[in-house]
Chains A and B, each alone.
Chain A
């Protein structure tokens, strides 16, 4: 299983762009990279998934360099409601043991 490493916490201010980087040095060829967001007292919610290069949806972008040993979740113009814990997961289609790390606690300040 590819282990992931993320910063424990980050602070930002409303309106700023936030980039959260995840390290996954031993990512395997078949692994996808998925990010989830979790608010207090709720289950995690899917944000974005990618395999290589760049993926963008209505809430975030995911940048994956060519070597795929890291990935960066980019949240444009954050608001107070983006305060949450963000998890990076690396999953192997041949392995159904999907594990979460400790995540990154993002605090957005006014």
Chain B
């Protein structure tokens, strides 16, 4: 049981490049979400999903796309990276969001130059 797995751990992009941050969980959790965390700040919700085929926006969705084709995977896509997207990205999952805790991955540190 690996929990929530994020890849890659580190990534450097040039402005305008695209990439996908991967997130997979093996706990059969319906709820998954992506957060970003900037230095010295709390986590901000980007997108979330309550099940396969269902996604919704959080507080900072601009510049990011998500899809949820399976229960296990919830990739985050940056279509045209900008320096403002330099951050640490965390993926999380939960069996039932408000009565069971969020399980977090170890994060992806992204730098956009």
Q: Does A87 contact B (CB under 8 A)?
A: yes
> A92 touching B45 by the CB < 8 A rule?
no
Q: Does A93 contact B (CB under 8 A)?
A: yes
Complex CA–CA separation, A25 to B98 (angstroms): 19
Interface size on A, residues (CB 8 A): 23
B103 — which chain A residues lie within 8 A by C-beta? 46
Complex CA–CA separation, A93 to B94 (angstroms): 13
> B92 touching A43 by the CB < 8 A rule?
yes
> For window 40-82 of chain B, which residues contact chain A by CB distance below 8 Å?
41-45, 48, 50, 56, 58-59
A36 — which chain B residues lie within 8 A by C-beta? 101-102
Chain B residue with minimal CB distance to A95? B98
Query: A99 is contacted by which of B58, B92, B107 (Cβ under 8 Å)?
Result: B58
Most chain B Cβ neighbours within 10 Å, of A43, A44, A92, A96: A43
Q: Does A81 contact B (CB under 8 A)?
A: no
> A91 touching B98 by the CB < 8 A rule?
yes
Q: Interface 1/0s, chain B 8-50, versus A by CB < 8 A?
A: 0000000000000000000000010101000001111100101
Name 22 A/B residue pairs within 8 A (Cβ), A-sorted: A34-B101, A36-B101, A36-B102, A43-B90, A43-B104, A43-B107, A44-B43, A44-B90, A44-B104, A45-B104, A46-B101, A49-B99, A91-B98, A93-B97, A96-B31, A96-B48, A96-B50, A96-B97, A97-B45, A97-B56, A100-B35, A100-B42
> A44 touching B102 by the CB < 8 A rule?
yes
Q: Interface 1/0s, chain A 64-93, versus B by CB < 8 A?
A: 000000000000000000000101000111
Chain A residue with minimal CB distance to B33? A98
Complex CA–CA separation, A51 to B92 (angstroms): 22
